[in-house]
């Protein structure tokens, strides 16, 4: 039987949110940049890695805005 995580308060909650935001900011460009690198290798191009990294950063910022910016 699993128990729900206890609700964190105060600074712990802010730290938890900051860690999630940093994860989004790093994960998006790395994931989409990696897909762009794979596409560059397969298609013998040079532009998909930077396009993927920029697209990943944009999607990361949009996700952060949706989750935390409107509250």
pLDDT attached to residue 56 = 98
pLDDT attached to residue 60 = 97
Residues 26-50: b if buried by 16+ CB within 10 A, e if exposed: eebbeebbebbeeebeeeeeeebbe
Determine the Cα–Cα distance for residues 2 and 11; give it in Å rounded to an integer: 26
Q: Is the pLDDT of residue 69 over 90?
A: no
25-68 pLDDT, tens digit per residue, is 999 999 999 999 999 999 999 999 999 999 999 999 999 999 98
CA 4 to chain CA centroid, Å, is: 25
Q: What are phi and psi of 61, to 5 degrees?
A: -65, -40
Which residue, chain included where needed, has tokens 């532009």? Answer: 47
Q: In 10 A of CB 25, how many CB atoms?
A: 16
């Amino acid at each position: 039987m699993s128990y729900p995580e206890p609700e964190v308060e105060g600074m712990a909650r802010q730290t938890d949110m900051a860690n999630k935001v940093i994860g989004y900011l790093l994960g998006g460009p790395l994931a989409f940049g990696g897909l762009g690198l794979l596409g560059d290798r397969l298609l013998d191009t040079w532009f998909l890695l930077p396009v993927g990294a920029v697209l990943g950063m944009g999607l990361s910022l949009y996700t952060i805005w949706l989750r935390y910016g409107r509250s």
